[in-house]
Amino acid sequence: MPRRLLITVSEDAAFLHGMRFIIHFFSPATDLKLDLVLMPPTSSAGISANPLLLEKAVALAEKMFFEKGFETSALQIEEGLQQCPTINELAGLAEQGHYDAVVLGRRGAARLEEYLVERYQEAVFDENLDFPFWVCREPDLTRDNVLLCVDGSKQGLCAADHVGFMCQNEGRHSICVAYLADPLQRDPRDEKLIIENAVRMLEVNEIPAKRISTKVLAEKDYVQGILREADQGRYAVVAVGRAGTGRGMMYERQFGSVSLRLARTLTKASLWICGYPCKL
């Protein structure tokens, strides 16, 4: 089954963080389908989109991917290159194209944060953004491996499913399954079961045991615990469920607490925020 990514591109060639992350983290493969879509500046920012700069940005992205052995396709419409200036438009395109994830660079990450701060409602979020998206803010291209954070929720297992599917053929990356526990409410049996379920989901996606490790992190501040572990372990990816229903790190205000805080603060690693759909 092909892995399909929708990658946002801005006209600023000095950044293109999402593209650079993909080139570093993945190996070229026939099953990896990469589509490029423009995310131009919005009129509210007081900057008009320069068509020539946008075309040059897409051409540069295609060239950089090609030089590293990747095949890409820039989405086209009748008027020219496909553009998605808003998160709503990007979500519609992602749903229509059945992408496995949307890759956001610096501009996309900022626009996502604005969208959630200004229009955040759990029901609206579930309806419009029910697909995995990756926030690539200044990724450190010397890092490898994945920190998969689980909490016993269905969304946490969907994150494990997503990581397993996307990393199945990326043998140089190991995956650490981390359960962040409340230090005042520890339940070793519960922790063991949650971790085992996540590991089982990775194994369903044919991730061999030698690439999987596990740990429990007892932290009062879950976000600070994730940030500390990601930095100490030099992980290229931190993966979380979009909104959890377990007893762990995603419980309080779900996306508004953990995932949104990570989307605002995590640097050097790509943040994979995973929801539906998954095999569950």
User: Exposed (0-12), middle (13-18) or buried (19+): which is 87, by Cβ within 10 Å?
Assistant: buried
Tell me the whole-structure pTM to 2 decimals: 0.90
Span 96-124, pLDDT tens digits? 999 999 999 988 888 887 776 665 554 45
Residue type for 178, please?
Answer: A
For residue 250, pLDDT beyond 50? no
Q: Looking at domain 3-135, what is its CATH homologous superfamily? A: HUPs (3.40.50.620)
pLDDT of residue 6: 96
In CATH terms, the fold of domain 144-274 is Rossmann fold (3.40.50)
Tokens of 16: 């293109």
Helices (H), ranges, the chain: 17-25, 51-67, 87-97, 106-119, 122-128, 154-167, 188-204, 222-233, 258-265
pLDDT of residue 82: 86
Answer yes or no: same fold for 3-135 and 144-274. yes
Ranges of each domain in the chain: 3-135, 144-274
- pLDDT-wise least confident of 22-31, 159-168, 249-258: 249-258
